[in-house]
Amino acid sequence: MSAIVVTGTDTEIGKTVFSAGLTAALNATYWKPVQSGQEEETDSQIVTRLSGRPSLPEGYLLQLPASPHLSAEAEGVTIDPDTLDLPQVDGVLVAEGAGGLMVPLNREILYLDLMARWGAPVILCARTKLGTINHTLLSLQALRNAGCNVVGVAFIGESEEAVEKTICQFGKVAHLGRLPMINGLHNETAAPDLGEVQGAFPGGRSGADQPGGRSEALVEAFAKHIDLDTIKKAIQL
């Protein structure tokens, strides 16, 4: 089995969408070790809807949309990192972290410590919007200080060539491409008052081109814009 970890500089930057593209491209299985918040879809549900690939059950599925340690405490649970070893699967496992790197799992360890323990290659997702140079360089430094093997940075958003180049120069890191913004990734059926739309998508899915299918727009954009060869080499595929 090979595993690859997808992390990011922050929450809501597109890690889950990137993970879905990667999971589809590698015919992989997706795993979210800790899901905090289950308002509409979980990250596992989004990845399966967009990639058409299976997701494993989360290690911890918590209600409160907060840092994992706080979501866990709200339910009287303590996250035990010993239960979060990378699961064995046939083929490739794509594991997505929560928030950023310095997110606590409990009162003792950070997500970053868990990633270092796993030892699997890491892709750092970064937005292209203002502020990203600082966040991305700090995240790279943290990953390297912890001994993680960084495959490169994958950007998400509108093109900002000078910014992307600056990050890769200062960070001495590979540019794995930039996933542009893609229309139609949302699950319309997860929004309220869409009874008619739901009827138009038997099986209750959209954002995928077919019920139970995957998003061909995402799969195509990923193939066009992301350097899959470098990622495959990092996991010896």
Please list the active-site residues: 32
Q: In the numeric block, which tokens belong to residue 138? A: 């700090």
- Is residue 10 involved in binding Mg ion (CB under 5 A)? no
Look at the block and give the residue holding tokens 């739309």.
197
DSSP-assigned beta bridge partners for residue 96: 6
Kindly state the smallest distance separating residue 6's Cβ from Mg ion, in Å. Answer: 9
Closer to ligand ADP by Cβ: residue 32 or 69? 32
- Looking at 181-226, list the stretches that DSSP marks H as alpha helix, in order from N- to C-terminal side: 195-200, 216-225
Q: Pick from Mg ion, ligand ADP, none: which does 181 bind, CB < 5 to 8 A by kind?
A: ligand ADP
| Residue 6 near residue 179 (C-beta atoms within 8 A) | no
- Is residue 16 involved in binding Mg ion (CB under 5 A)? yes
- Is residue 12 involved in binding ligand ADP (CB under 6 A)? yes
Question: Between the CA of residue 51 and those of 92, 188, 209, 222, what are the distances in Å?
Answer: 14, 17, 11, 11
Task: Determine the Cα–Cα distance for residues 60 and 162; give it in Å rounded to an integer.
Answer: 39
Closer to Mg ion by Cβ: residue 16 or 55? 16
Task: Determine the Cα–Cα distance for residues 170 and 166; give it in Å rounded to an integer.
Answer: 6
Closer to Mg ion by Cβ: residue 32 or 168? 32
Stretch that binds ligand ADP, among 60-68, 108-116, 180-188, 189-197 (CB under 6 A): 180-188
DSSP category for residue 236:
T
Sole binder of ligand ADP in the list 3, 5, 14, 206 (CB under 6 A): 14
Closer to ligand ADP by Cβ: residue 108 or 122? 122
Closest by alpha carbon to 182, among 201, 158, 210? 158
Kindly state the smallest distance separating residue 53's Cβ from ligand ADP, in Å. Answer: 16
Task: Return residues touching Mg ion (CB under 5 A).
Answer: 15-16, 43
Q: Binding site: what residues are annotated? A: 12-17, 36, 43, 96-99, 180-182
